[in-house]
Amino acid sequence: MSLESEKNKSLIKKLLTSLNSHQKAYLNLNLKDPKNGEYLLCIFHLIPNKNLNILQAAAEIAAESSTGTNFQVKTETKFSRELNARVYQVDLKRNLVWIAYPWRLFDRGGNVQNILTYIIGNILGMKEVQALKLLDVWFPSSMLEQYDGPSYTIDDMRKYLDVYNRPILGTIIKPKMGLTASEYAEVCYDFWAGGGDFVKNDEPQADQDFCPYEKMVYYVKRAMDKAVKETGKKKVHSFNVSSPDFDTMIKRCEIIRNAGFEKGSYAFLIDGITAGWMALQTLRRRYPDVFIHFHRASHGAYTRSENPFGFSVLVLSKFARLAGASGIHTGTAGVGKMKGSPEEDIVAAKNILNLSSKGHFFEQNWGKIPEKDKDLIKLVHEDSIHHLILQDDSWRGIKKCCPIISGGLNPTLLKTFIDIMGNVDFITTMGAGVHAHPKGTRAGAIALVQACEAYQKKIDIHDYAKSHKELKEAIEFFEKNKKNINESIRSERA
Ligand code: CAP
Ligand code: MG
Ligand code: MG
């Protein structure tokens, strides 16, 4: 064993003597096999407050996030103690603690909201810690089988759109708010007529008096019919169904489903954090034949790297897949306008896309592939028949959830992001990137399509722009403005 781990071990031995009997009940550094299928595993970055050491604080966190509270209670039973979460590993140098949660703790029937109430619930408010961030989670396959996972996936959307080997090209209608229903639909039409595949409501779009929900749906349908007829291509619109209450959400879904849209031509968008996990799971269970689009507005309060409390983009994205989102925004790895990095956003994107992939600390396999099944394991790792495995034997695992790549992208940044991502299996939605084009939305859509063509033909966009004027105008506009933005950031920093 290395000197460092020797040191870590002897330090831990010393810390163990500091624990009281209550804390000892939530710690087992000799847990025989954390991956035996009984536990959800979590790893936290934890800094204790001044009057506790990391082991004491970790035990208090394990107590409060499973069966306990701040004192041992007389009402405990032998059985309740079996459900105690256990701190099973500690890295003193990096302030990391691993906690195993017996997943029998959780509400049966696949309730994601209930898990989160434990593992990112009260503990984020406890005095015992001055930093607590859930960095990664690991689900045993015995637990995975209890949860829905996605039903309608990007593979289904690709089949509907007949779009393969490139990202699905989308936009968000801008201005974010303020267009009337017919003005909104006009912009949808311009984007689709320009060759775009996918339009989404912006995350706050709902039933505003100047753009009544039913009217917006009605005009979008007409705009879509017109664009499909003119282009001969299928189109998709993602409607925000986030609502004040369950009944209104279902009513909005039914307005859409009764507006004459073809199956596959609409998706349901849910503001997963502000509308909540119950809304997401309700949509997944009620509408398994619809793409469920998780918008993560307000995730920054938990995920920003400057924030010592919360959870990672990876954790959010893994739970979105577990709960059944067909796609979730995973960030632009810093290429666009939002904070992010490849270490955060790309790791999250790959973990929700692939059947097995490395997270920050855990290797997650989303399917139960028998160890002996060598060729299946080979295929899973190639991931080439991912959808087939899951289509035929959905018991085997959780279908893919697709990354939705948005915030601040424009056609000149498409290749930059694809190169960082390393694949094209995602939906991109560009708002300003399309509607700020000097010649308007339709030209913005054409420029996006041309940027994608250039990528597919392995031609630099500046060369491709020589014979594609909309792309040329986009490059001139966005590259000039990028300099201005960088200058303003630089001057702010100066
Ligand atoms: C993007 C967007 C999205 C953000 C969400 C916006 O518009 O519509 O909500 O992308 O961020 O309102 O900002 P632009 P993320 O394309 O004009 O930036 O995708 O990181 O969750
Ligand atoms: Mg309580
Ligand atoms: Mg938005």
Model confidence over 374-430: pLDDT tens digits? 666 565 555 544 444 444 444 457 899 999 999 999 999 999 999 999 999 999 999
Compute the mean pLDDT over every residue in the chain, rounded to the nearest whole number: 92
The pLDDT value recorded for residue 384 is: 47
Residue whose CA lies nearest to ligand 1 atom number 6: 407
- The verdict on whether omega for the bond into residue 140 sits within 30 degrees of 0, i.e. cis, is no
Q: Coil, helix or strand for 49?
A: coil
Ligand 1 atom at minimal distance to the Cα of residue 331: 20
422 CA → ligand 2 middle, Å: 44
**316 in contact with ligand 1, CB cutoff 6 A:** no
Tell me how many degrees the CA angle 77-79-83 measures, rounded to the nearest 5.
110
- Strands annotated E in 49-185: 86-91, 96-102, 129-138, 168-172
Q: Provide mean pLDDT across the span 216-231.
A: 98
Question: How far apart, in Å, are the Cα atoms of 461 and each of 96, 103, 341?
Answer: 44, 51, 24
CA–CA distance, 354 with 350 (Å, rounded to integer): 6
The pLDDT value recorded for residue 322 is: 96
The answer to whether the CB of 366 falls within 8 A of the CB of 443 is no
Residue whose CA lies nearest to ligand 1 atom number 1: 407
Neighbours of 371 (CB within 10 A): 6
**408 in contact with ligand 1, CB cutoff 6 A:** yes
pLDDT tier for residue 485 given thresholds of 50, 70 and 90 = low
Tell me how many degrees the CA angle 236-416-170 measures, rounded to the nearest 5.
10
Residue whose CB lies within 8 A of the most ligand 1 atoms, among 169, 172, 202, 338, for a mutation test: 172
Residue ranges covered by each domain of the chain? 3-138, 154-480
Known catalytic membership, residue 295? yes
Q: Provide mean pLDDT across the span 294-319.
A: 97
Catalytic residue among 45, 174, 299, 386: 174
The answer to whether the CB of 474 falls within 8 A of the CB of 440 is no
CA–CA distance, 287 with 269 (Å, rounded to integer): 12
The pLDDT value recorded for residue 394 is: 46
The pLDDT value recorded for residue 356 is: 85
165 vs 381, residue with greater confidence: 165
pLDDT tier for residue 70 given thresholds of 50, 70 and 90 = confident
pLDDT over 70 for what percent of the chain?
Answer: 91
DSSP string of 215-272, one letter each residue: HHHHHHHHHHHHHHHHH----EEEEE---SSHHHHHHHHHHHHTTTPPTTSEEEEEEH
pLDDT tier for residue 198 given thresholds of 50, 70 and 90 = very high
Ligand 1 atom at minimal distance to the Cα of residue 297: 21
118 vs 396, residue with greater confidence: 118
The pLDDT value recorded for residue 372 is: 61
The pLDDT value recorded for residue 20 is: 96
CA–CA distance, 107 with 338 (Å, rounded to integer): 35
Q: Which of 7-16, 286-295, 368-377 has the highest mean pLDDT?
A: 286-295
Q: Which fold has domain 3-138?
A: Alpha-Beta Plaits (3.30.70)
Q: Is 333 left (phi over 0), alpha (psi -120 to 50) or beta?
A: left
Ligand 1 atom at minimal distance to the Cα of residue 429: 16
139 CA → ligand 3 middle, Å: 31
pLDDT tier for residue 368 given thresholds of 50, 70 and 90 = low
**327 in contact with ligand 1, CB cutoff 6 A:** no
* Residue 7 reports pLDDT greater than 60: yes
CA–CA distance, 411 with 225 (Å, rounded to integer): 26
* Residue 281 reports pLDDT greater than 80: yes
The pLDDT value recorded for residue 143 is: 87
206-245 burial, b at 16+ Cβ within 10 Å, e below that, comes to bbeeebebebbbbbbbebbbebbeeeeebbbbbbbbbbee
The answer to whether the CB of 237 falls within 8 A of the CB of 250 is no
Helix 246-257 × helix 277-286 angle, to 10°: 40
**CB under 8 Å to 289, separation ≥6 — which residues?**
151, 152, 263
CA–CA distance, 93 with 5 (Å, rounded to integer): 10
354 CA → ligand 1 middle, Å: 24
pLDDT tens-digit readout, 322-367: 999 999 999 999 999 898 899 999 999 999 999 888 999 999 988 7
Ligand 1 atom at minimal distance to the Cα of residue 410: 16
**172 in contact with ligand 1, CB cutoff 6 A:** yes
**279 in contact with ligand 1, CB cutoff 6 A:** no
Helices and strands, number each (H, E), in the chain: 22, 15
Question: How far apart, in Å, are the Cα atoms of 489 and each of 244, 353, 382, 416, 474?
Answer: 38, 33, 42, 20, 22
**411 in contact with ligand 1, CB cutoff 6 A:** no
Residue whose CB lies within 8 A of the most ligand 1 atoms, among 205, 304, 406, for a mutation test: 406
Write down how long the chain is.
494
Beta strands 266-271; 291-295: pairing state: parallel
User: Phi and psi (nearest 5°) for 198?
Assistant: -140, 130
Known catalytic membership, residue 174? yes
* Residue 439 reports pLDDT greater than 90: yes
**406 in contact with ligand 1, CB cutoff 6 A:** yes
The pLDDT value recorded for residue 390 is: 47
What type of residue is 40?
L
SS3 content of the chain, % helix, strand, coil (to 5): 45, 15, 35
Q: Is 267 left (phi over 0), alpha (psi -120 to 50) or beta?
A: beta
Flag the least confident range among 57-61, 307-311, 369-373, 454-458: 369-373
What type of residue is 73?
V
**344 in contact with ligand 1, CB cutoff 6 A:** no
**CB under 8 Å to 179, separation ≥6 — which residues?**
173, 187, 211
301 CA → ligand 1 middle, Å: 16
Ligand 1 atom at minimal distance to the Cα of residue 296: 21
391 CA → ligand 1 middle, Å: 32
**154-480: CATH architecture:** Alpha-Beta Barrel (3.20)
**338 in contact with ligand 1, CB cutoff 6 A:** yes
CA–CA distance, 454 with 387 (Å, rounded to integer): 28
Flag the least confident range among 1-15, 204-218, 319-333: 1-15
203 CA → ligand 3 middle, Å: 5
Q: Provide mean pLDDT across the span 437-457.
A: 98
* Residue 250 reports pLDDT greater than 90: yes
Cα 11 from chain centroid (whole Å): 38
* Residue 103 reports pLDDT greater than 70: yes
- Tokens 């049966």 sit on residue: 108
pLDDT tier for residue 6 given thresholds of 50, 70 and 90 = confident
**431 in contact with ligand 1, CB cutoff 6 A:** yes
Residue whose CA lies nearest to ligand 1 atom number 12: 202
Q: Provide mean pLDDT across the span 297-320.
A: 97
The pLDDT value recorded for residue 494 is: 62
* Residue 93 reports pLDDT greater than 70: yes
pLDDT tier for residue 487 given thresholds of 50, 70 and 90 = low
429 CA → ligand 1 middle, Å: 8
**293 in contact with ligand 1, CB cutoff 6 A:** no
The answer to whether the CB of 314 falls within 8 A of the CB of 333 is no
**331 in contact with ligand 1, CB cutoff 6 A:** yes
135 CA → ligand 1 middle, Å: 24
CA–CA distance, 430 with 414 (Å, rounded to integer): 10
Catalytic residue among 45, 234, 295, 350: 295
CA–CA distance, 91 with 86 (Å, rounded to integer): 15
* Residue 146 reports pLDDT greater than 50: yes
CA–CA distance, 198 with 263 (Å, rounded to integer): 14
CA–CA distance, 84 with 199 (Å, rounded to integer): 47
The pLDDT value recorded for residue 378 is: 63
